[in-house]
Structure 1
């Protein structure tokens, strides 16, 4: 695993699949939904969660969040929301990675084969870039999931 000291090298990278420890579990991140579908052998009808760098970026992306829940979304930790069949999370990354700082958003999914547990060898083969800190990659619990509309919030997981 190499380290980057210059962000100019990163600008030449095409859309890649990144393996990293997210705030909830080990995950694949990419801006290319098709690449993630291929890795996970997932149906194209099943959407991915879109993770935003911060709340301001989420609002700029034309996501309409019901006023009643804006504060909850802004302050949430380890929580995914679904509004009008679009799943999203806000996560300000604590990793000091130039690769992750470059993007304002990315699609996210757990780093495993569909309906299987984390397998480090599988993930290492499928990822283009691996971002790992001193704690390594650990499978933890998934995020809470809520479906919200203009009047109510329903817990899904």
Structure 2
């Protein structure tokens, strides 16, 4: 999928795509900064990233939480409206719908997206997710 979707994620308004280069272009972002991957099914997540056994239950039941394992950032969204959007693709890169380092702007979002998907929640900027870096048996809160 090369299109850039604009949608309400589980935390805030975001750009979604499977094309990281296109997202970098849209956000005017440096190429060395990786994007968050969002998964709608736990089995797909486990096939892509080796989650430490100690934290599998934590990851499966966490909401509005981003995890980092070996410098790979991911979020499992479970059974939510956001998950129904991601499910046909398996996973999508996700990033906030604002210029890199900038604040939210409606005109920027609509101008840069190929497709706008609005559900019953509308499009609104909400609080950011919690971020944890997971080791084998330790987790460290980043945000």
- TM, length-normalised to structure 2: 0.93
Shift of 1:96: 8.8
Q: Is the counterpart of residue 49 in structure 1 residue 39 in structure 2? A: no
Structure 1, unaligned runs of 5 or more: 1-13
C-alpha change, 1:22 and 1:96, in structure 2 (3 Å) is closer
Q: Does the Cα contact within 8 Å between 1:53 and 1:103 map onto a contact in 2?
A: no
SS in 2 for 1:64: coil
C-alpha separation in 2, matches of 1:135 and 1:47? 28
Render the CA deviation track for 1:129-157: whole Å, top value 9, x for unaligned.
10002442100111100001102100000
1:85 to 2:71 alignment: yes
Partner of 1:103: 89
- Whether 1:154 aligns to 2:143 is no
Unaligned runs of 5+ in 2: none
2-side partners of 1:120 and 1:71: how far apart?
A: 37
Q: Distance in 1 between matches of 2:8 and 2:98?
A: 13
Larger of the two Rg values belongs to structure: 1
Quickly say closer, same or farther: Cα 1:16–1:66, change in 2 above 3 A.
same
State which drifts further: 86-95 or 41-50. Answer: 86-95
Q: Which runs of 4+ in 1 moved over 4 A?
A: none
- 1:33 alignment partner in structure 2: 20
- TM-score by structure 1 length? 0.85
TM-aligned CA distance change 1:66 to 1:147, over 3 Å: same
1:58 to 2:45 alignment:
yes
- CA RMSD, 1 decimal: 1.5
Q: Secondary structure of the residue that 2:81 maps to in structure 1? A: coil
Distance 1:34 1:96, change over 3 A: closer
Deviation by residue 1:41-65 (Cα, 9 ceiling, x = unmatched): 111110000001121110122x111
